Amino acid sequence: MTLPALGWQGLVIFAVFGLSLLIATYSTYAERVIAAFLQDRVGPDRAGPFGLLQPLADAVKMFTKEEFFPGGASKALFVFGPCLAMVTALMSSAVIPFGNVLQFGDTVVHLQGIEINVGMLYVFGMVSLGVYGIMIGGWASNNKFSLLGAIRAASQNISYELAMGLALIAVLMISGTLSLREITLQQSSEGAFVWRDIFNWNIMKQPLGFIIFLVCAFAETNRTPFDLPECETELVGGYHTEYSSMKLGLYLFAEYINIFVASAVMSVLYFGGFNFPFQYDLRNWLVSAQGLELVTAQNIITLVGVAGLFGKIFAFIFFFMWIRWTLPRFRYDQLMRLGWTILIPLAIFNILLTGGLITFGIIK
């Protein structure tokens, strides 16, 4: 196995791509099972053991359904909409650092699709592009309900992206960098005090910012209680009213990938990314007590870190679903009022607070 570094990196990119799809696939299953459990049911359990093949059955169903184009629809845009939603959703997971480096001899593999120093901006850009997929789909459907859903999606995204960006600024004031890998590394520390690992996570410095970011993430991914773009009771199905077959599947899939990415971003920004408590103690113990080389010990730490990050991501995905089956949907004016008159002032207050705390040296 002497792959060049680029080959390894290609493998990582491929793995990230595959993992995003796999996790999105099984999110559909998890959503149904969690929904069922929260409602005292058992959920899908017919296809395979525990119903684990249900996503496959759903995919077969989606692919074999009739491909329908509404009359008067712009065919090219109608196809382009879901594609764009899917592509942007998939692209945004490229910059997320899923782990630290793995080192085999001279080969250093970064467990990250691509490391760029504007990673956070890239994610933001991709997520906001995602709303174009919804807009185009809603417009091309030639249906007023779809159009209303699409307009709602767009205005909702704009409103909440502001508060989200302002919440993010407070994080950037602490970290001083946009690179997600740098932000993660700053949240680790080789300290004597074991719990310092957790106290170094940004959630400890930015509790208010995290809550704002979390609420906005729900709005950005069009999840309950902010799922007004696809509000069934008012808009039939919102922007995907006219969609059938796998084009509908792509929209639903894109939503789950967005949830995955939002969970990953929140884990990285606020919950230490691939850092986990006692990681340096574990490394030192592996070196001193088990007699491993430092590089090998570091690789083990990295792999545990990857598992840890996925644990955090899954916890967030669970939280997304937990919220969905707990809270009812907001009314549209409530949604807008929450965004503009509560979250944005709160986020600005958070920036001021963070600035003050940094000035007086209370947080680094």
Would you tell me which residues interact with another protein (CB under 8 A)? 34, 36-42, 45, 211, 322-323, 325-327
Q: Tokens at residue 208, please?
A: 């208010």
Q: How far is the CB of 35 from another protein (least distance, A)?
A: 10
Q: How far is the CB of 319 from another protein (least distance, A)?
A: 9
By beta-carbon proximity to another protein, the closer residue of 211 and 303 is: 211
Contact predicate 19/111, CB 8 Å: no
d(CA 240, CA 143): 10
By beta-carbon proximity to another protein, the closer residue of 37 and 69 is: 37
Q: How far is the CB of 226 from another protein (least distance, A)?
A: 13
Q: How far is the CB of 41 from another protein (least distance, A)?
A: 5
By beta-carbon proximity to another protein, the closer residue of 69 and 349 is: 349
By beta-carbon proximity to another protein, the closer residue of 31 and 197 is: 31
By beta-carbon proximity to another protein, the closer residue of 325 and 349 is: 325
Residue 13, CA distances (Å) to 34, 71, 101, 151 in order: 30, 40, 14, 34
Helix, strand, coil percentages, rounded to 5, for the chain:
70, 5, 25
Q: How far is the CB of 44 from another protein (least distance, A)?
A: 11
Q: How far is the CB of 317 from another protein (least distance, A)?
A: 15
By beta-carbon proximity to another protein, the closer residue of 134 and 219 is: 219
**Radius of gyration for the chain, computed over Cα atoms and rounded to the nearest angstrom:** 22
Q: Tokens at residue 65, please?
A: 């359904």
The full DSSP string for 128-152 is HHHHHHHHHHHHHTT-HHHHHHHHH
By beta-carbon proximity to another protein, the closer residue of 45 and 67 is: 45
Q: Helices 207-220 and 344-359 sit at what angle, rounded to 10 degrees?
A: 150
- Please name every residue paired with 104 in a beta bridge, in sequence order, or none if there are none: 107
Q: Residues near 192 by Cβ (< 8 Å), separated by ≥ 6?
A: none
Q: How far is the CB of 40 from another protein (least distance, A)?
A: 5
By beta-carbon proximity to another protein, the closer residue of 199 and 325 is: 325
The beta-strand segments (E) located in the chain are 97-104, 107-112
Q: Of 262, 220, 214, which Cα lies nearest the Cα of 93?
A: 262
By beta-carbon proximity to another protein, the closer residue of 328 and 361 is: 328
Q: How far is the CB of 338 from another protein (least distance, A)?
A: 9
Exposed/middle/buried for residue 251 (C-beta within 10 Å: 0-12, 13-18, 19+): buried
d(CA 312, CA 322): 15
Q: Helices 279-288 and 294-324 sit at what angle, rounded to 10 degrees?
A: 150
Q: How far is the CB of 268 from another protein (least distance, A)?
A: 24
